[in-house]
Structures are given as C-alpha cells and as structure tokens.
Amino acid sequence: MNALPTYSHVGITVPNVTEAIEWYRETFGYFLLAGPLEVHEDDSPLGKAAAGIYGAGFSRFQFAHMASADGAGFEIFEFDSPAYERRDESFEFWRSGINHFAVTAADVSAFAATVVAAGGKQRSEVVTTDAVKGFQIVYCEDPWGNVFEVCSHLYPYMWSL
C-alpha cells in the first residue's frame, strides 16, 4: 500500500503579492520562504507547470511561498492576465473549489479583532459550537476577499465524535 498524502499548502489570489505577504506576515505571523517569484508562459519548468494548471494565455504571474509556525504552507498569487477580479461581497460558496481555509487561534474573538484592525473583515459572529469544551469558530476574510475560518482548537479535537 502506498503512503497516504499529508497536507502541504493552500494558495490564494490577490491583486498585489507584496502587500499580501506583509499582511499575512503581520496579521498571521507567517514567514516568507521564497518569493515573490516570477513565472512566464514559456518552456521553463515553472512555466510548463503553470500551463498545465492554467492553460494557454496566463502570460505572467508572481507568487510567494509562506509558512505558518507549525509548517503549513501558504502560497500567494498575483496574475497579470487575466487581470485580478475581486469576488462579489457574497462569495459563490456553492461553486466547486475551495470556499475557505482555516487557522487555529486560542482566542478567536481577539484574532478576529486583529484581522479587522489590519483591514480585513469579520464575516460572522463568534459561534460557540460546544460550550462544555469551549469550542468556538468565527469566519473572517482578508482585505482581498479570501474567506477563512478561525477555530479555537485543533481540527481533530473539534470535530471528532
């Protein structure tokens, strides 16, 4: 039997990769591993990989590799063509694809306040999912409309029966 895969990273799209690097560094404490790196629609290894994902016509983009303190990867992309378009205020959660990512912060209310103070948005009220265990969640978004959940405890503790 083959070894099972483990989680590696998630990628988001923003209009300015440099600004997003700073925002995630200051707000989430993520650290920069590499980038911004420039990728062109050409025969380079990254150019070929990107063509396999995005097809012909992506022209050029920049991206950066970041990581959280626990080693989870986070990629930030800025595309030239087609030009960046922010999702509607009410994001299309019913369409296929990732509709949010999640992080863990012991005090979800305090972290949501940090997000708002840094220019993000709190999308929901803080919800207590289990009062006995003190489990709480809140949904927020970064300044570019990428939605994320903040959980008070690690995922396996919150959702195992």
Domain co-membership, 38 together with 68: yes
Residue where a domain stops, chosen among 22, 57, 84: 84
Domain count across the chain: 2
Global pTM value: 0.87
Give residue 160's pLDDT: 86
91 assigned to some structural domain: no
CATH number of the domain encompassing residue 13: 3.10.180.10
Task: Give the separation between CA 105 and CA 125, rounded to whole angstroms.
Answer: 15
List the helix and strand counts (H, then E) for the chain. 4, 9
Task: Give the separation between CA 127 and CA 137, rounded to whole angstroms.
Answer: 5
Per-residue pLDDT of the chain (161 residues; tens, 9 = 90+): 678 887 889 999 999 999 999 999 999 999 999 999 999 889 898 888 888 888 888 888 999 999 999 999 999 999 987 788 887 766 777 777 788 999 999 999 999 999 999 999 999 999 999 999 999 999 999 999 999 999 999 999 998 87
The continuous run of DSSP H or E covering 149 comes out as: strand 147-151
48 assigned to some structural domain: yes
Domain co-membership, 104 together with 131: yes
Residue 11: DSSP 8-state: E
Residue span of the structural domain in which 80 resides: 8-84
Do residues 37 and 72 make contact, with C-beta atoms less than 8 angstroms apart?
no
3 assigned to some structural domain: no
